[in-house]
């Protein structure tokens, strides 16, 4: 039975059964309480047993996982106090990613892959505006217009505004005000640097699910330092898109002896802030159902109450670092959090939560029958990799040696909605058409024919009045999933 060693105290160690790791988990605690180190040791543990890991580096200090740590008197003391032996400084195989393509390989998704539900949430559209966005996706599907990047969507919205009278019979009225609002929101998104995220070649799941020659799971690190500060909604949207891609792209495998993939979502409250109710409902469903795909999801946040109750109840591993209780509201939060643990007669859980030292935590895992174990107060084990970031030169060297080096570096701009609508406009004006790009250029994605097959497969409902649903809603409401 594979285990993930968490830490220990008073000569007794605490570990998580890897067979229960797809039951998800949470790491919570106040700022500076040690959550980042806990995240690091969990990622190390999964990598050691051959499980690939994806995690977001929000603070910029997790890149040290790609370099060996060092022994020190402080680490020796922690090992002695926690009853852990066999500490061996080592580095872990890592791939660096960055939506802005500055500190890692570029990360992209197409507008079509994101779909109207996630895109509408990202743009903070109201119901009327979202309705127009859904119409845009339906028109693109019907007319074979690929929506790959922002200029494709802008061109389509302009086309809808200029041809609303002709399109009205089949698609209903379009509000010029709503279309203009969507256009403005796209400009805001572009100013936040999001334009680099939309396009091709899009990220492939297989590149997040690798092992090295020694059988260690490769750790994929998304540099999210600027992303969270400049565009937190884009950060949340990317994570939700990734989750939906994983749910749609992986087969059912039941309960394996260890996960096929583990995801760590830092600043988890951003996933649920101001999201429309339909989206939140689908997130809850996916979190519940993705377990059967052999995927574990771990949320990192300051308070467990940042997570919706429906999701919180599904989390098997609970690691709680110190919480502050300076106000009546804080004390109420502490009391509520204490009630989420299974009682241990030797521990006053409510009191302990406010007394934990840095690097100390209350922990509850699942036993082999899937039952929560009584809460334990432990010292989190020290990481074997470096605590703190790599320097820029070390990061660059690892990016160059990466197994995906060169695969995503150059953007591909295939013929899509922008080019086709421009050709239509040029023809209407009597302007000679520019030569069409070679349609045989495939890059790392599907051809136009395959894209249309994918589009048709993901449409649902009757032929009359059907509604196109992509992304998270696609699989859950009857779509046939993505065809890669």
Find all residues with CB under 8 Å of 18, minimum gap 6, and list them: 1, 2, 3, 4, 46, 49, 51, 257, 258, 259
Q: What is the pLDDT of residues 248-306, one digit of tens each?
A: 999 999 889 999 999 999 999 998 887 778 888 888 889 989 999 999 999 999 999 99
β-strands 360-364, 317-320: how paired? Answer: antiparallel
Strand order, beta sheet including 53-57: 12-17, 3-9, 376-380, 360-364, 317-320, 25-28, 295-301, 261-266, 53-57, 219-223, 94-98, 105-106
With left for phi above 0 and alpha for psi between -120 and 50, is residue 242 left, alpha or beta? alpha
CA distance 335 to 340: 9
CA distance 349 to 471: 41
pLDDT at residue number 171: 87
Question: Which stretch of DSSP H or E encloses residue 27?
Answer: strand 25-28
Find all residues with CB under 8 Å of 254, minimum gap 6, and list them: 292, 294
Find, among 409, 420, 360, the residue nearest to 144 by Cα. Answer: 420
CA distance 12 to 305: 30
In order, the DSSP letters of 270-286 are: GGTTT--HHHHHHHHHH
Find all residues with CB under 8 Å of 152, minimum gap 6, and list them: 111, 145, 146, 416, 417, 418
> What is residue 104's DSSP assignment?
S
Strands, E, within 397-441: which ranges? Answer: none
Instruction: Note whether 149 and 111 are within 8 A (CB).
Output: yes
pLDDT at residue number 426: 81
Q: Give the CA-trace dihedral at 225, 288, 375, 271, to 10 degrees.
A: 20
pLDDT at residue number 429: 63
CA distance 90 to 453: 47
Q: What is the pLDDT of residues 413-434, one digit of tens each?
A: 999 999 999 988 888 665 544 4
CA distance 81 to 78: 5
Can you give the pLDDT of all 484 residues of the chain as single tens digits? 799 999 998 888 999 999 999 999 999 999 999 999 999 999 999 999 999 999 999 999 999 999 999 989 999 989 988 888 888 999 999 999 999 999 999 999 999 999 999 999 999 999 999 999 999 999 999 989 999 999 999 999 999 999 988 898 888 888 899 999 999 999 999 988 888 999 999 999 999 999 999 999 999 999 999 999 889 999 999 999 999 999 999 999 988 999 999 999 999 999 888 777 888 888 888 998 999 999 999 999 999 999 998 899 899 999 999 999 889 999 999 999 999 999 999 999 999 999 999 999 999 999 988 999 999 999 999 999 999 999 999 999 999 999 999 999 999 999 999 999 998 888 866 554 443 444 433 333 343 334 333 433 333 232 222 333 344 444 343 333 443 3
pLDDT at residue number 454: 40
Output Rg (C-alpha) for the chain, integer angstroms.
24
Strands, E, within 46-157: which ranges? Answer: 53-57, 94-98, 105-106
Q: At what angle do helices 164-171 and 127-142 cross, to 10 degrees?
A: 90
Find, among 185, 266, 189, the residue nearest to 225 by Cα. Answer: 266
Task: Tokens 């040290």: give the residue.
Answer: 64
CA distance 334 to 322: 10
CB atoms within 10 A of CB 254: 9
CB atoms within 10 A of CB 75: 18
Residues in the chain, how many?
484
Q: At what angle do helices 150-162 and 417-429 cross, to 10 degrees?
A: 40
Task: Tokens 């998800």: give the residue.
Answer: 24
């Amino acid at each position: 039975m594979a285990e993930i060693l968490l830490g220990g105290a008073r000569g007794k160690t605490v570990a998580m059964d890897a067979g229960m790791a797809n039951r998800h988990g949470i790491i919570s605690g106040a700022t500076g309480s040690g959550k980042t180190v806990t995240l690091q040791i969990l990622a190390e543990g999964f990598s050691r047993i051959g499980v690939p890991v994806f995690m977001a580096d929000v603070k910029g200090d997790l890149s040290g996982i790609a370099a060996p740590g060092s022994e020190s008197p402080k680490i020796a003391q922690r090992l002695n106090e926690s009853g852990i032996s066999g500490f061996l400084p080592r580095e872990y195989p890592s791939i660096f990613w960055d939506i802005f393509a500055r500190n890692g390989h570029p990360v992209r998704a197409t507008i079509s892959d994101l779909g109207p539900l996630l895109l509408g949430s990202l743009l903070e559209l109201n119901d009327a505006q979202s309705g127009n966005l859904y119409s845009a996706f339906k028109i693109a599907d019907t007319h074979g217009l690929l929506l790959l990047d922002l200029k494709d969507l802008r061109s389509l919205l302009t086309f809808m505004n200029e041809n609303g009278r002709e399109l009205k019979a089949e698609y209903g009225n379009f509000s010029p005000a709503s279309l203009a609002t969507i256009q403005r929101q796209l400009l805001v998104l572009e100013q936040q640097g999001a334009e680099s995220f939309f396009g091709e070649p899009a990220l492939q799941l297989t590149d997040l699910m690798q092992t090295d020659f020694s059988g260690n799971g490769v750790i994929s690190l998304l540099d999210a330092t600027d992303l969270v500060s400049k565009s937190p909604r884009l950060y949340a949207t990317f994570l939700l898109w990734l989750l939906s891609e994983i749910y749609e792209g992986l087969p059912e495998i039941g309960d394996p002896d260890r996960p096929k993939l583990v995801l760590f979502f830092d600043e988890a409250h951003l996933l649920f802030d101001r999201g429309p109710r339909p989206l939140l409902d689908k997130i809850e469903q996916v979190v519940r159902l993705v377990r059967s795909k052999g995927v574990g999801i771990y949320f990192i946040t300051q308070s467990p109450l940042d997570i919706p109750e429906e999701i919180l109840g599904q989390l098997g591993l609970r690691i709680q670092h110190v919480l502050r209780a300076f106000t009546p509201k804080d004390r109420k939060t502490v009391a509520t959090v204490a009630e989420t643990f299974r009682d241990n007669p030797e521990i006053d859980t409510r009191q302990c939560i406010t007394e934990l030292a840095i690097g100390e935590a209350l922990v509850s895992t699942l036993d082999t029958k899937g039952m929560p174990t009584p809460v334990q107060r432990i010292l989190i084990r020290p990481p074997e990799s470096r605590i703190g970031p790599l320097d820029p030169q070390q990061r660059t060297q690892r990016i160059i040696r990466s197994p995906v080096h060169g695969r995503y570096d150059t953007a591909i701009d295939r013929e899509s909605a922008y080019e086709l609508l421009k050709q239509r406009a040029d023809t209407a004006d009597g302007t000679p058409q520019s030569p069409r790009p070679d349609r045989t250029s495939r890059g790392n994605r599907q051809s136009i024919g395959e894209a249309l097959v994918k589009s048709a497969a993901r449409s649902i409902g009757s032929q009359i009045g059907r509604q196109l649903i992509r992304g998270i809603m696609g699989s859950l409401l009857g779509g046939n999933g993505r065809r890669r």
